[in-house]
Amino acid sequence: MILQSIRMLVVMTVVTGVAYPLIVTGIAQVAFKDKANGSLIVEKDKIVGSRLIGQPFTDPKYFWSRPSATSPQPYNGTSSSGSNQGPTNPALKEAVEGRIKDLGGKTPVPADLVTASGSGLDPHISPSAAEYQIPRIAKSRNISEDKLKALVARHTEGRQLGVLGEPRVNVLELNLALDAAK
């Protein structure tokens, strides 16, 4: 009986621990190579980021991402989590007020510019969050607001399958397009 159990353990370890992962990885590499490798964005033969993980932008000439709740640094993919601060938490109120101040104090501010996503890694902002930032970027780059609005519109992704989620803008891709539009 014990020998039979050991054989079954070895067989199942090989099947579920080696064969299955290799097969799934092979299928993913053939059918979804870009996604299986992290949806990386490459500029001039250099990886500049991923379409799936946000990056911090603080320079006034760029669109800013959602705040990140990860630590020890923002957008840390190894510590994906939300802040777990509820709406009655004084720390959340203080953080939101500080972020509004950093944005220039003009209200109302789109919620996604002052609150982190559930994962703390979201690479997207809403179109209204992008449009909110246009005056700052136009002034910083000496670009017309209409040109920036058109750039945001070109980089706005619709709902998935036409019904899932909300329209969104990938901040890294938008900022790369902004740099290219000099």
Which residues share a beta bridge with 46?
43
Q: What is the pLDDT of residue 25?
A: 94
User: What is the β-pairing status of strands 124-125 and 40-43?
Assistant: unpaired
pLDDT digit string, tens, across residues 110-133: 999 998 887 878 899 999 999 999
pLDDT digit string, tens, across residues 64-120: 999 887 766 788 777 777 777 888 889 888 988 888 988 887 779 999 999 888 787
* Cα-based torsion angle of the residue sequence 159, 165, 168, 173 in order, rounded to the nearest 10 degrees: -80
Please state the pTM of the whole predicted model.
0.81
Residue ranges per structural domain of the chain: 1-37, 38-180
Q: What is the pLDDT of residue 148?
A: 96
CA distance 166 to 122: 13
| 3-state SS assignment for residue 62 | coil
